[in-house]
Amino acid sequence: MSYYLVRGGQALRGEVPISGAKNSVLPILAATLLNGGRSLLHNCPDLRDVRSAIQILQHLGCKVSREGDTILVDSSVVDRWDVPHELMREMRSSVIFLGPILARCGRARLSLPGGCEIGQRPIDLHLSSLRKLGVSIREQGGDILCEARDLRGGDIILSFPSVGATENTILTATACPGVTRLINAAREPEIADLQAFLRKTGVLVQGGGESVITVSGESPRNDVEHTILPDRIETATYLCAAAACGGEVTVTGAEPEHVGTVLQCLTEAGCRVRCAGRTITLQAPRALGGMSPVRTMPYPGFPTDAQAPLMAAACTGQGTSLFIETIFENRFRHAAELARMGADIRVNGRTALVTGRPLHGARVRSTDLRGGAALVVAGLAAEGESIVEGITHIDRGYERLAEKLTALGADIRRVEA
Ligand code: EPZ
C-alpha cells in the first residue's frame, strides 16, 4: 500500500505548472468515438482515470497511443459496444461513454456505475434524457442495455445541472436527427471544452458554458486536433497548499477565470492574489483568517471539488469558517482524518464549522480523490511528520503531485510499500 511521507512546516515558494483537466479529457476521450477518424489531444494529464479511459477505447476497437502529454485516438474501427464491468468499477465516470457508444453503434451495454466515497451518484438524469431522445433502456442484472431505436432531437430540461448528464445528452444528441435543446445544462468550463472539440469534428453545437445548449444531429466526420483546458481543481489545490503553508507560489498555465470563487475565499482569508494572463501568484499571510460561509454550487458557484483542499487550509489558520456542501451528500469524510491531525471541525449533515488551530502530523488515510489532496495540504502545514495512506485515490486526479510539491520546497515523498 503506497503512501506519502510528509514533513510539514516548510513554506512553499516558486512556480508550479498546471496540467490538463481530468474532467475535460475524460469526456473528450469518450467523444473521440464519434468522428470515426483521428483525434490528436494535447495537454492530457497522465492519471489513473485517463489510463482507464484509454483502456475502454482500446476495448471498443480504437487504436490509442500516447507521446508525452499528447494522446492520438483512431476510432475508424469500433467493433464493440460494451464497457467491461471491471473498468466501470475502476472508474465510475466511465458512464460518460454511454452517449458516444450509443451515437456510434446504436446500442450500448454498461454496468450501473454505482455509488462511491462521496455519494450515491445516481444516473437517473442521464437515463431520462436519453429516453427523451428515443433511446430504449432496460436494466438487467446490474447492467443497462440501451438501444437507439428511433432517435430524434427535441427539448430536454434537466432538473439539476448535472455535469455528466449534460455531457451524455450532448454526445447522444449528435446522432439524433433534428435539433436538441438542453435546458438547465451544466455550465462548467469542461462543457465548453467538450463543445470546442465537437465543433472541430463538424458537429453543430452551441451554448456550451451557458444554461441552454443546442445540438444539431450531424454525423461528425473531421479528424480533430485539440488542446485540453487547464485543470481548475488542481489549480485550486496548489493555491490552497500555498495558503496553508505560507510563502509565495505562482501557478502557470492556469485559467484564473475558472477559479474566481476560490480566489475570492483565499483573498478574504488574508492572501494576496495577483493574476496575469495564464498565471496566478498567491502570497500567503502569516496566518490564514476566517472566510464567509463557503457554499458549494454548480459552476460558476464555488466548486465542490475544491471544498476539501480549502477546508484543509482553513483548519491550519486562526479564523472560523463555515462550509456548506450542497452538491454531494457525503463529502466531508476527510474531516475525521483531518481531526486526527488536531483539526477542529464540527460536521452537522451538510455543514462543517472549522475553527483554525495549529495541526500536528499523524497517520491518515485518503477517503476519496479530493479528500486525499486535503490531507496532503494539511500535512504540509502541520508540525511534524504525517503518513497519508490510500494515495491511489489521489493518483486518479493529480499528476506528479509529490514532484510538483517538492519543486516548491515541500518535504514530501512517495513510498511504495
Ligand atoms: C462531475 O461529476 C465531476 N466528475 C466531479 O468531479 C464533480 O464533483 C461533479 O461533476 C460536480 O461538479 C467528472 O467530470 C468526471 P454531477 P458528475 O452529475 O458528472 C446528482 C472529481 O473529484 N445527480 O454534476 O458525476 C449527483 O448525485 C469529481 O474530479 C443525480 O441525482 O456530477 C450529485 O449530487 C468528483 N442524478 C449532483 O447531481 C444524475 O443522473 C452533481 O452530480 C446525475 C447526478
Helix (H, G, I), strand (E, B) or coil at 232: helix
Q: What is the pTM of this model?
A: 0.98
Helix (H, G, I), strand (E, B) or coil at 216: strand
Cα 336 versus chain centre, distance: 23
Catalytic residues: 116
Q: Measured in angstroms, how far is the CA atom of residue 266 from the centroid of ligand 1? A: 24
What pLDDT score does 45 carry? 98
Q: From the CA of 397, give the closest atom in ligand 1.
A: 29
In the predicted structure, residue 218 carries a pLDDT above the cut 90: no
Write out pLDDT tens, residues 7-36: 999 999 999 999 999 999 999 999 999 999
Please state, in angstroms and rounded to a whole number, the distance separating the CA atoms of residues 140 and 282.
52
Alpha helices in 91-226 (DSSP H): 98-105, 124-132, 163-173, 189-201
Q: Taking the chain, what is the end-to-end CA distance rounded to the nearest angstrom?
A: 5
Give the mean pLDDT of 393-408.
Answer: 97
Q: Measured in angstroms, how far is the CA atom of residue 383 from the centroid of ligand 1? A: 35
Q: Cell numbers at residue 319, please?
A: 479564523
What pLDDT score does 394 carry? 97
- Which of 282, 311, 286 lies closest to 377, judged by CA? 311
Give the CB-side neighbour count of residue 342, counting CA atoms within 13 A. 16
Q: Measured in angstroms, how far is the CA atom of residue 358 from the centroid of ligand 1? A: 33
Of all protein residues, whose CA lies closest to atom 14 belonging to ligand 1?
23
Write out pLDDT tens, residues 31-52: 999 999 999 999 999 999 999 9
Percentage of the chain modeled with pLDDT above 90: 93
| Cis peptide bond upstream of 293, omega within 30 | no
Using a 6 Å cutoff on CB, does residue 362 contact ligand 1? no
Helix (H, G, I), strand (E, B) or coil at 368: coil
Write out pLDDT tens, residues 80-120: 999 989 999 888 899 999 999 999 999 999 998 877 888 88
Q: Which residue has the cell 466531508?
A: 332
Counting ligand 1 atoms within 8 A of each CB, the residue from 48, 52, 170, 327 with the most, and so the one to mutate, is: 327
In the predicted structure, residue 383 carries a pLDDT above the cut 80: yes
DSSP state of 3: E
Please state, in angstroms and rounded to a whole number, the distance separating the CA atoms of residues 91 and 86.
9
- Which of 319, 343, 338, 304 lies closest to 270, judged by CA? 319
Q: Counting runs of H as helices and runs of E as strands, what totals does the chain give? A: 14, 23
Q: Measured in angstroms, how far is the CA atom of residue 201 from the centroid of ligand 1? A: 26
Q: What is the phi/psi pair of residue 229, to 5°? A: -75, 160
Please state, in angstroms and rounded to a whole number, the distance separating the CA atoms of residues 372 and 139.
34
What pLDDT score does 116 carry? 81
In the predicted structure, residue 273 carries a pLDDT above the cut 90: yes
Please state, in angstroms and rounded to a whole number, the distance separating the CA atoms of residues 265 and 311.
11
Contact in structure between 123 and 95 (CB atoms under 8 Å): yes
Please state, in angstroms and rounded to a whole number, the distance separating the CA atoms of residues 417 and 403.
18
What pLDDT score does 153 carry? 96
Write out pLDDT tens, residues 159-197: 999 999 999 999 999 999 999 999 999 999 999 999 999
What pLDDT score does 117 carry? 82
Using a 6 Å cutoff on CB, does residue 158 contact ligand 1? no
**Nearest-10 Cα torsion for 191, 138, 50, 63:** -110
Q: From the CA of 127, give the closest atom in ligand 1.
A: 40
Contact in structure between 213 and 195 (CB atoms under 8 Å): yes
Write out pLDDT tens, residues 239-255: 999 999 999 999 999 99
Helix (H, G, I), strand (E, B) or coil at 177: coil
Beta partners for residue 145, in sequence order: 109, 138
235, amino acid identity:
T
Q: From the CA of 118, give the closest atom in ligand 1.
A: 35
DSSP state of 107: E
Using a 6 Å cutoff on CB, does residue 300 contact ligand 1? no
Determine the Cα angle at 391 with ends 26 and 85, to 5°: 50
Write out pLDDT tens, residues 278-302: 999 999 999 999 999 999 999 999 9
- How much of the chain is in helix, strand and coil states, percent to nearest 5? 35, 30, 35
- Which of 205, 280, 203 lies closest to 235, judged by CA? 280
Q: Measured in angstroms, how far is the CA atom of residue 118 from the centroid of ligand 1? A: 10
Q: Which residue has the cell 499523524?
A: 362
In the predicted structure, residue 149 carries a pLDDT above the cut 90: no
Q: To which H or E segment does residue 22 belong? A: helix 22-31
In the predicted structure, residue 397 carries a pLDDT above the cut 80: yes
